[in-house]
Amino acid sequence: MKNIIAAISVLTLTASLFAQTPAPSWSQWRGPARDGIASSFTAPATWPAQLTKKWEATVGAGHASPVIAGTRIIVHTRQDNREVLTAFDLASGKQLWQDGVDAPYTMNKAAAGHGPGPKSTPAIAGGRVFALGVSGIFSAHDLATGKLLWRKPAPPVPQEYGTSNSPIVDGTTVIAFLGGQKGGALTAMDAATGTVKWQWTGDVPGYASPIIATIAGVRQLITQSESKVIGVSVADGKLLWEAPLKTPYNQNVVTPLVVNDVVISAGLDNPTIAYWITAGLGKGWTATPRWSNDQVSMYMSSPAVSGTTIFGLSNKNRGQFFAIDAATGKTLWLGKGREADNASIVRAGSVLLLSTTNSELIVARPSATAFEEVKRYTIADSATWAHPAYAGRTIAVKDVDKLIVWSY
């Protein structure tokens, strides 16, 4: 009898632990915590000679990254004049549902090489999928069925090069930088209904995606607008601090990174800068430059941190991987040039996963002394501007028109 009770206790504990273990997830831009860390990806002890292709599907154009929640994967693409959200079974590739909206879009000729979108990565939270189209249409869908829950129309004048900031969910609130070049607002909405909770209208949208961090005890949303780096209160949208950021043709793209209350920001033809964010008693907030590194400039690629080292891709020398010290900004090493126009920088345990526009996945060690490549794979037949999604043993890749799921 004691053995039976003990066995039942073990089974109960195992079931409890299993229930508490989160399913593999890559539910938003740059991963579970939006910081380029693949916390739910299990890297192999030894990387194989080749990855294993599980399945692929033709899904349409666009640079929006795929997102993963549990057993399903979602991708937002363009099919002719429609923007389409499609859900697949992650294991088999079976299409589960699809819904779309008519979204004709005239591209700026200067951005023709980047395609007609969509470019913003969806966010999954609370059983819903939030998707922002290239012309600014913002939609919420039911994750289980694909049913449209609510929608915000496109602004009269969209952004010059197409909307690319990815929405972020905070509890029962979803936040996106809505609008275009002639009016826009960082907008917090009720996730269930779309009802606006607050707006910040101090600048029009940039092309960067926001993050949320707690600095000096205050939870704040941090992003790049068209001409600034900003921090606003998540609670009410009040501006806490700002710093100027001017790039050629107003192309503020880089997602900020927060390391120990220091905000790391960069932009085309600008140095990489660390801002010390403080809240003085009765004096308001300040963003004081702590260090600046003009050897490293970032255009579209966002950095990631491992320990005290920041890794990224500089747009100098036609694409150059780098490492800089997070505390001092000192350049630790610069890789060779001509690696790629853009790259996704992700830390997965003891390795870096560097996906480039040249359809390559580079596995490297997060070394502070030199670029240490472990393995290099070809992961698509065409350009891969969209960032891969990493969850469990899955690497999900979106190229020009296909969704490809790899494993090892």
Q: What is the pLDDT of residues 300-349, one digit of tens each?
A: 999 999 999 999 999 999 999 999 999 999 999 999 999 999 999 999 99
Rg (CA), the chain: 21
Residue 281: predicted pLDDT: 65
Question: What average pLDDT score do residues 344-370 get?
Answer: 98
- Inform me whether the pLDDT recorded for 19 exceeds 90: no
Q: What is the pLDDT of residues 64-102, one digit of tens each?
A: 999 999 999 999 999 999 999 999 999 999 999 999 999
- Residue-by-residue DSSP string for 180-218: ETTEEEEEEEETTT--EEEEE-SS-B-SPPPEEEEETTE
Residue 18: predicted pLDDT: 30
221's tokens: 């949303």
Q: Which amino acid is at 365?
A: R
- Residue-by-residue DSSP string for 61-110: B--PPPEEETTEEEEEEEETTEEEEEEEETTT--EEEEEEEE---PPPGG
Question: What average pLDDT score do residues 137-159 get?
Answer: 96
For residue 41, with 0-12 CB atoms within 10 Å meaning exposed, 13-18 middle and 19 or more buried, which class applies? buried
Residue 40 sits at φ, ψ, to 5 deg, of -105, 10
Q: What is the pLDDT of residues 224-262, one digit of tens each?
A: 999 999 999 999 999 999 999 999 999 999 999 999 889
Question: What average pLDDT score do residues 191-209 get?
Answer: 98
3-state helix, strand, coil in the chain (%, to 5): 10, 45, 45
162's tokens: 């197409």
Where b means 16+ CB within 10 Å and e means fewer, 3-16 reads: eeeeeeeeeeeeee
- Residue-by-residue DSSP string for 264-308: EE--TTS-EEEEEEEEETTTEEEEEEEEEETT---SSPPPEEETT
For residue 111, with 0-12 CB atoms within 10 Å meaning exposed, 13-18 middle and 19 or more buried, which class applies? middle
Nearest to 205 by CA among 241, 170, 253: 253
Write down the domain spans for the chain. Answer: 23-407
pLDDT-derived band at 283, boundaries 50, 70, 90: confident
Q: Could you say which of 3.20.20.150, 2.130.10.10, 3.40.50.1970, 1.10.10.10 is the CATH number of the domain covering 23-407?
A: 2.130.10.10
Residue 366: predicted pLDDT: 98
Query: How close are the terminal C-alpha atoms of the chain, in Å?
Result: 44
Residue 112: predicted pLDDT: 82
- Inform me whether the pLDDT recorded for 3 exceeds 50: no
Q: Which amino acid is at 361?
A: L
Q: What is the pLDDT of residues 120-142, one digit of tens each?
A: 999 999 999 999 999 999 999 99
**Contact call for residues 276 and 287 (beta carbons, < 8 A):** yes
Residue 107: predicted pLDDT: 86
pLDDT-derived band at 9, boundaries 50, 70, 90: very low
